[in-house]
Structure 1
Amino acid sequence: MKDNTNLLTVITWGVLLTSISVLLNDMREFDFNQFKEFQNWAKSANKNETWLTSQNAIKWSYYTISAGIFFWKGYLIYGFSYFLSILKEIDNGHYFSDNNIRYFKKIGNIFIQYTISVLVLRFLLAAIGKSTFDFFDELKTEFMFLIPAGLAFYVLAEIFKRGKQAKEENDLTI
């Protein structure tokens, strides 16, 4: 079993490092000059003009929403890192530990929170005209996978919880 957990740990580290490099590359390619433009606008803006209706507010919204999407991608990677903790518990022989139950619930929460938040943010990006957004096309991509995966982790948490209870009852019998 130790060989399998070692292999899974190496694969998990590979996935994590690849995901982090993709996120960093996406951030590098993002146009951060918009923030400089916003700062320049803030210095020379007409204070009597309503900020919410200005073109720069739309640019700022795009910048903020894109930063939010980067945050949620990082949060998803963080959630995936819980697999390392689960593998460590399994490697130590604690299959039905409270930690594993908690980790499965956390992974499920993160997957579902990420999916809902990024769908909302992409919808907002489409509303300000910076992207094309089709709800059904978005569901066909990564989101089609993440919500069922999040729910599956909730189910795994419940299975492990019941397995722990059965193990405790078994330990009490002679």
Structure 2
Amino acid sequence: MKDNAKTLTIITYAVLLGAVSVLLNDMREFDFNQFESFQNWAKNADKNEPWFTTKNAIQWSYYVISAGLFFWRGYLIYGFSYFLSILKEVEKGNYFSDKNIKYFRKIGNIFIWYTINVLILRFLLALIGESTFNFFDELKAEFTFLIPAGLAFYILAEIFERGKIVEEENDLTI
């Protein structure tokens, strides 16, 4: 099992590094492409118009929502990093440890919160006119597996919790 755990650890590190590099590249591209238009808008914005009823609110909303989307993508990557902690526990032979149960719950929680919040932010982004949004198309994309996967991790946490109880009972009977 240790050889498999090491292989899975290497694969997990590769996936995490790839995901972080994609996120950083997207942030860099957003910054370079959008910051120039934002500066032009800031120079030409009418300072006498009410803030909440003008392009000012729309422009700022777009940047705030985009920053929120980057945050949630980073949070999802953080959730994937818990797989490394689970693999460490498995390598030590602690399959049904409290840590693994806690990590499975955290991963499930992160997957579900990521999906809900990104759907909300993309909906808001569509409201301000910066993107198209179709709820069913969004669900068909990356979200179709994240909510069921999050629920599956909650179920795994319950299974591991029951496994821990059974393991403790077996240790007492031997």
Q: Percent identity?
A: 72
Flag the 1:67–1:105 CA change in 2: closer, same or farther, 3 A: same
Matched, 1:27 2:27: yes
Instruction: List aligned pairs for 1:87-166, cutoff 5 A.
Output: 87-166=87-166
Alignment match, 1:68 = 68
Report the Cα distance in structure 2 between the residues aligned to 1:33 and 1:57, rounded to whole angstroms.
18
3-state SS of the aligned residue for 1:51?
coil
TM-score, normalised via structure 2 length: 0.94
Letter in 2 for 1:97: S
- Partner of 2:52: helix, strand, or coil? helix
Runs of 4+ in structure 1 off by over 2 angstroms are 32-42
Greater shift in the superposed pair: 22-31 or 114-123: 22-31
User: 1:78 and 1:163 mapped to 2: Cα distance?
Assistant: 27
Name the amino acid aligned to 2:91.
Answer: D
- Normalising by structure 1, we get a TM-score of 0.94
- Deviations for 1:80-138, whole angstroms, at most 9, x for unmatched residues? 00000000000011100000000000000000000000000000000000000000000
Evaluate the alpha carbon distance shift between residue 34 and residue 109 of structure 1 in structure 2; reply closer, same or farther with a 3 A threshold. farther
CA distance in 1, matches of 2:94, 2:127: 48
The one-letter code sitting in structure 1 at the alignment partner of 2:47 is A
Kindly provide the amino acid, as one letter, of the partner of residue 24 in structure 2.
Answer: L
Alpha-carbon RMSD? 1.4
Q: What is the alpha-carbon distance in structure 1 between the residues aligned to residue 157 and residue 12 of structure 2?
A: 20
Match of 2:169 in 1: 169
Aligned positions of 1:6-85 closer than 5 A = 6-30=6-30, 31-37=34-40, 40=43, 45-46=47-48, 49-85=49-85
Which of 49-58 and 140-149 deviates more? Answer: 49-58
Aligned length: 171
**2:86 alignment partner in structure 1:** 86
